[in-house]
Structure formats: C-alpha cells, structure tokens
A = this chain, B = another copy of it.
Amino acid sequence: MSASPTITDYLKQCAAETDKALLESLPQHWEVPGTLRESMAYSLSAGGKKIRPALVLTAAEAVAGSLEARRQALPIACAVEHIHTYSLIHDDLPAMDNDDYRRGRLTNHKVFGEAMAILAGDALLTHAFYLISRGGREAGLEPSTMLAIVEDLSMLAGAPGMVGGQVADMQGEQGITGLSQLEYIHLHKTGDLIAFSAMAGGRVGGATERQLELLGRYGRTLGLAFQIQDDILDLVGDEAKLGKPVNSDIEGQKVTYPFLIGLEESKRLASKLTEEAKGCIQEAGFTRPERLLQLADYLIKRDH
C-alpha cells in the first residue's frame, strides 16, 4: 500500500474519472434545446468532491477486487451525481432554501431563471435512469443488476428517501422538537443517497445479500456522520473554506446537532458513527476493503 496514492489524491482521481464520464453523459446527437443542455451542464460541472460517485466506484472495486467492476460502475457513478445535482438545484430555488450561491458560483436559477432550473433538475433526475439502463447495458451489466439498482434508487431518492428527508427538513424549519426528528432528516436527506451509492457499487461488484445490507448500513451511518460533521464545520469552520457565511444555519434559526447536544458531544457522536460504518466494512469480508475504510475516516477528518 505504501506506493498507492493518499485518500485525498485517490478521491481526486475518482472525481476526475467521474467528471470525464459526465461530460459525455448527455449524448451530443440528441436534439435538446441549447439552454436546457447548458443549464444541466452548468450544475453538473460545478465541482464538488464527488463523494457519492467515488463511493460507487470504490464499493464496486472493493467487492469484486477488480478494475473491470469499477469500469462497469462508471455509468452508475454518473447517475448518482445526476441525482445529487438535481437535488441541489431544486433545494436552492427561491421557494425552497433561496440560495444565490453554491460552491462559490451562482446557483442555477440565478443564471438560467427559475423555470429552467426546475426543468433542468427534472431532466437530470430523469436522465439518471437512462444512465443506469442504457449506460449500464453498454457497460455490460446484467439486466437483473440494473433493475435492482433502478429499484433501489427509485426508493432511496424518492418519497420514502431523499425527497422525504427534504420535506421533513423544510417542515423542521418551523421547529424541530428533538434529536429523532433531526436524525430522520439527515438519514433520509443525506444518508439514503450515500447508502444507495455504496449498495449500487456493491451490486455491480457482485455482492451477496448480506454484503449489500452491510454496505447499506455503512452508507447510512456514514451519511449521518457526514451531516453531523457538516453541522460542526458550519459552526467552527471558516468562511473561505466553506464558501458561505459561518453560522448561517444558526442565524437562519436552523436546528443542528451542536445546537441540540453541544459541540463536544456532536464530535463524539460523529466519531462513533464513523467507527460503526468501518465495522460494517470489516465484517463484510471484501477483497479490497482499504479505500472504503479510508473514505470513512476522510469524511470525519475533512475540514471543508
């Protein structure tokens, strides 16, 4: 392992792999209104750490122990980035969080207008399923594997998953009463798509049912830890690194983990969840578990 890249470099490599594939993900020969294409591409190419695609690729390789599985997982990695991107575009809308900036750039609706932002989000969401079905077929995935991935995504990104979490978050702004409500929000708004990413990679790699269950738990737990860490960074982070005003959540009356249980207890909880996530991977008996373990540590140690 001594010669292999650090986890930071490894993640950059995953992001570059994904970015390259994303560029080609909307077929050039398709007759799509120019502004719609631009609006979709604008948000897809907005940077970001691409943690979810990295998880798809890494889980596929971890389970199968081969770079071939990783290659086959690439359209699925693009699909999850489409879903994540659409959710950010819709979240930023005036009717929702009303954000003008995202990752230091103007949000989609500030550039293309609200109607186009809504439609670009719809198109990205729909296109994710094209990438799984058509992209997966071209990558040589089995029909049953692709269908299981479609089913997982339709649940984990939908009403009982990510969208449900977003609704709960929105309603929570009118007053969160306790930890269980905050946990529900984070588990669904963030955890479900991360769980999907780990499981989808596992499916491509040929994971057993037990391994898929462990990958799902790994993802959900990691998603919760990630979100608590986000709350912590928001409290202690510095503006330049985050690209938004520190404490913006508290100013906006947003209830967070540090707000509810204190900063130190939040840190302890995030560490505990990270260890739990790593435990799932250790238990699963994968051929190449290292990167999944490092990824868990990376997420808790990141400073942005």
- Contact residues of A with B, CB < 8 Å? 26-27, 30-33, 35-37, 40, 86, 90, 93, 95-96, 113-116, 118-119, 121-123, 125-130, 132-134, 137, 143-144, 146-147, 150-151, 153-155, 157-160, 163-164, 166-168, 170-171
**Chain B residues with CB below 8 A from A126, complex form:** 125, 153-154, 157-159, 163
Closest chain B residue, CB of each to CB of A155: B130
**Chain B residues with CB below 8 A from A26, complex form:** 159
The reply to whether B147 and A118 contact each other, CB–CB distance below 8 Å, is no
**Chain B residues with CB below 8 A from A40, complex form:** 159
Q: Counting chain B CB atoms within 10 Å of each CB, which of A116, A134, A160, A170 scores highest? A: A160
Q: How far is the CA of A283 from the CA of B39 in the complex (A)?
A: 42
Min Cβ gap A112→B in Å is 10
Task: Choose from B114, B157, B159 the contact partner of A95 (Cβ within 8 Å).
Answer: B114
The reply to whether A132 and B150 contact each other, CB–CB distance below 8 Å, is yes
Interface SS, A side: helix
The reply to whether A127 and B167 contact each other, CB–CB distance below 8 Å, is no
Min Cβ gap A278→B in Å is 27
Closest chain B residue, CB of each to CB of A83: B126
- 7 further interface pairs, Cβ-Cβ under 8 Å (given A30-B159, A33-B164): A32-B159, A86-B122, A116-B170, A118-B118, A122-B122, A127-B159, A132-B150
The reply to whether A90 and B122 contact each other, CB–CB distance below 8 Å, is yes
The reply to whether B147 and A32 contact each other, CB–CB distance below 8 Å, is no
18 A-B pairs with CB atoms under 8 Å apart are A30-B160, A31-B160, A31-B164, A35-B167, A93-B118, A95-B118, A96-B118, A119-B170, A121-B122, A122-B125, A122-B163, A123-B159, A123-B163, A126-B157, A130-B158, A137-B147, A137-B151, A147-B147
**Chain B residues with CB below 8 A from A32, complex form:** 159-160, 164
Min Cβ gap A80→B in Å is 13
Q: How far is the CA of A96 from the CA of B130 in the complex (A)?
A: 25
**Chain B residues with CB below 8 A from A119, complex form:** 90, 163, 166-167, 170
**Chain B residues with CB below 8 A from A116, complex form:** 167, 170
The reply to whether A118 and B90 contact each other, CB–CB distance below 8 Å, is yes
**Chain B residues with CB below 8 A from A122, complex form:** 86, 90, 121-122, 125, 163
